[in-house]
C-alpha cells in the first residue's frame, strides 16, 4: 500500500497548519506514522489521496450513521445550497428541525441550535450555572465534552491521546470550579457532592462514554446519578453529542430510560455538517436569552445547510427505526467474532460494545473507567492499528476513541474486518 501523496500533503500541511491538522487526534501521534489524507468517501468506505480504499469505522467520529454521501442527504444539501448557504436570519427549517428533535428525544421542551458539540456543552454549563446560581460543576475523568476551558480538566479523547496532563491557558479559577471523579464510581461522587454541598450547579456525563474507548455505565450508575441530582438540587446534563440519535431515535435517554435536565447534541443531528444543540425543560431553557439573561449567541447557529443535512438524516432515522436494530446486530456480530478471533491468541483483551459503538482494549482486566483504559497495553494497540490499516481497515487512530459503525457496512465488510484482525494479531504477536 503506497501513501506517498498523503506523506507529501502532511509535510505541506505542517507549513501552514499547527501540527499539520485541524484536530489533534488526526495527527496519528498516538499511533505513530503519517496521517492519511482523505480524498472522498462513499457508503462504508474511505478513499485516500493515493486512491487506497478502507472500510471505515470512524464514520466522521459518529455522524455518518447512514454511511458517507447518502443520496437523500446529498440531494437535500444541493437543493438548499441553491438558495444560499447562510442568511443570518430565522428560517422555517430551524423550526422544523427543532420540532423533529422534540418528537424523537424525550424530555425536550425547547432546544437551541449551535455550531458544534463543544459550544453545546459550554452553553449548557453556563445555563446550569445561571439557572441554579451555583458555580461548580462535576465531570468524570476521561469524559470529553469539547475543548471549552471547564472541560479540559482530566479530559478524555485527544487530551488523553496526547497524554496532556494539564492544559496551559485554563485558569486556576476555572480549574477549581471543575470537580472530577472516576466514571462509574458512585461513592466518590457522593463524597464529592457532600464536600461541596450547595455549590454544585450541574453534573455532566457521557451516558455511554466514547472518549476513552467505548465505556459502558455499570448497572444502576446513571439511575443513581439521577437520584443524587434530585436529592441535592443539581442539574443532570447528558452529553449526547455522540450517543444522541445513534443509540436510538431518542438517544441514551430512551435506550437507558433515564431522563436528564439538559441534553447536548451534535454529530448525527448535522448529518456530517458542523452543528450542535442543547435542550431541556422549558423552566430551565427559558433562562436563555432572549427569554432570559443567560447569554448565548452564534452567527451561524441554525445554518440552513447544516439544518437540512441534519433534518434529512433524522427524518430517515425516525421513519426507519429498523436501522437501529440492523446497526446493533452488525455490531454484535463484529463483537462476537472479534472475541472468537482474540481467544485464538494469547493476547489479553477486552471488547466493550453498546449499540453501534464498540472498542477493543488490550487488557487483562475490565475496562470501565479512564484509569483502566489508560492501563491497557496501548503500545500493542498501535501495532494493531497499523496492521489493520495495511489491510484496508480504518480504525480510530487512538485507543481512547470508540469505533462507530455505519449502516452501509455489509456482512462482507464485517467478515473482512474479522479476517484482517485474525491476520493482524498473528503479525503483532
Check 239, 261, 369, 413 and give the catalytic one.
239
What's the Cα-to-Cα distance from 91 to each of 66, 107, 308, 341, rounded to whole Å? 26, 24, 11, 52
Which of helix, strand or coil describes residue 351?
A: strand
Check 45, 57, 144, 324 and give the catalytic one.
144
Contact 401, 213 (CB under 8 A): yes
Nearest to 356 by CA among 400, 419, 408: 408
Q: Which three cell numbers stand for residue 237?
A: 446534563
Does residue 290 have a cis bond before it (omega within 30 degrees)? yes
Question: Rounded CA gap, 232 and 297, in Å?
Answer: 30
Cβ neighbors of 84 (< 8 A, separation 6 or more) are 304
What's the Cα-to-Cα distance from 125 to each of 136, 138, 289, rounded to whole Å? 10, 10, 15
Question: Rounded CA gap, 358 and 286, in Å?
Answer: 37
Question: Rounded CA gap, 201 and 134, in Å?
Answer: 5
Q: Which three cell numbers stand for residue 16?
A: 501552514
Cβ neighbors of 150 (< 8 A, separation 6 or more) are 122, 125, 137, 139, 174, 177, 178
| E strand residue ranges, 108-199 | 110-114, 136-141, 178-182
Question: Rounded CA gap, 42 and 392, in Å?
Answer: 15
87 is catalytic: no
239 is catalytic: yes
Question: Rounded CA gap, 100 and 403, in Å?
Answer: 27
Question: Rounded CA gap, 399 and 392, in Å?
Answer: 18
In the numeric block, the cell 501495532 is attached to: 383
Contact 387, 361 (CB under 8 A): no
- The DSSP bridge partners found for residue 67 are none
315 is catalytic: no
Check 134, 136, 255, 267 and give the catalytic one.
267
Alpha carbon 400 to chain centroid, angstroms: 11
Cβ neighbors of 355 (< 8 A, separation 6 or more) are 208, 243, 246, 247, 248, 255, 324, 327, 328, 331
Question: Rounded CA gap, 267 and 280, in Å?
Answer: 18
Q: Which residues form the catalytic set?
A: 144, 239, 267
Amino acid at each position: 500500500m503506497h501513501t506517498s501523496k498523503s506523506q507529501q500533503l502532511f509535510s505541506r500541511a505542517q507549513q501552514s497548519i499547527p501540527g499539520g491538522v485541524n484536530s489533534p487526534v488526526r495527527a496519528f501521534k498516538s499511533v505513530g506514522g503519517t496521517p492519511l489524507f482523505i480524498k472522498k468517501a462513499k457508503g462504508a468506505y474511505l478513499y485516500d489521496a493515493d486512491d487506497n480504499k478502507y472500510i471505515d469505522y470512524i464514520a466522521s467520529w459518529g455522524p455518518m450513521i447512514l454511511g458517507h454521501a447518502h443520496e437523500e442527504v446529498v440531494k437535500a444539501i444541493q437543493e438548499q445550497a441553491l438558495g444560499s448557504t447562510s442568511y443570518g436570519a430565522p428560517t422555517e427549517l430551524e423550526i422544523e428541525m427543532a420540532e423533529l428533535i422534540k418528537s424523537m428525544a424525550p424530555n425536550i421542551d425547547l432546544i437551541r441550535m449551535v455550531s458544534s458539540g463543544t459550544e453545546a456543552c459550554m452553553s449548557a454549563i453556563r445555563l446550569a450555572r445561571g439557572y441554579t446560581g451555583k458555580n461548580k460543576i462535576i465531570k468524570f475523568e476521561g469524559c470529553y465534552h469539547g475543548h471549552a476551558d471547564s472541560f479540559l480538566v482530566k479530559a478524555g479523547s485527544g487530551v488523553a491521546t496526547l497524554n496532556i496532563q494539564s492544559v496551559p491557558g485554563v485558569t486556576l479559577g476555572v480549574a477549581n470550579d471543575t470537580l472530577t471523579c472516576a466514571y462509574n464510581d458512585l461513592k466518590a461522587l457522593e463524597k464529592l457532592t457532600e464536600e461541596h454541598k450547595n455549590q454544585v450547579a450541574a453534573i455532566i456525563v457521557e451516558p455511554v462514554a466514547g472518549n476513552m474507548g467505548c465505556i459502558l455505565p455499570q448497572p444502576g450508575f446513571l439511575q443513581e446519578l439521577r437520584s443524587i441530582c434530585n436529592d441535592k438540587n443539581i442539574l443532570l446534563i447528558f452529553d449526547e453529542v455522540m450517543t444522541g440519535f445513534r443509540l436510538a431515535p431518542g438517544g441514551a435517554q430512551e435506550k437507558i430510560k433515564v431522563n436528564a435536565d439538559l441534553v447536548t447534541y451534535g454529530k448525527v443531528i448535522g448529518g456530517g455538517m458542523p452543528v450542535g444543540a442543547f435542550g431541556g425543560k422549558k423552566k430551565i431553557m427559558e433562562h436563555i436569552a432572549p427569554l432570559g439573561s443567560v447569554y448565548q449567541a452564534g452567527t451561524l447557529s441554525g445554518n440552513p445547510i447544516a439544518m437540512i443535512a441534519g433534518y434529512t438524516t433524522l427524518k430517515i432515522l425516525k421513519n426507519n427505526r429498523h436501522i437501529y436494530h440492523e446497526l446493533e446486530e452488525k455490531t454484535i456480530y463484529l463483537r462476537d467474532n472479534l472475541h472468537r478471533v482474540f481467544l485464538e491468541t494469547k493476547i489479553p483483551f477486552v471488547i466493550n460494545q453498546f449499540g453501534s459503538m464498540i472498542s477493543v482494549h488490550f487488557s487483562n482486566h475490565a475496562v470501565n473507567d479512564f484509569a483502566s483504559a489508560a492501563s491497557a497495553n496501548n503500545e500493542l494497540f498501535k501495532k494493531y492499528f497499523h496492521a489493520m490499516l495495511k489491510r484496508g481497515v480504518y480504525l480510530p487512530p487512538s485507543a481512547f476513541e470508540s469505533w462507530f459503525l455505519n449502516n452501509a457496512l455489509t456482512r462482507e465488510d464485517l467478515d473482512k474486518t474479522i479476517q484482517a484482525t485474525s491476520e493482524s494479531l498473528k503479525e503483532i504477536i
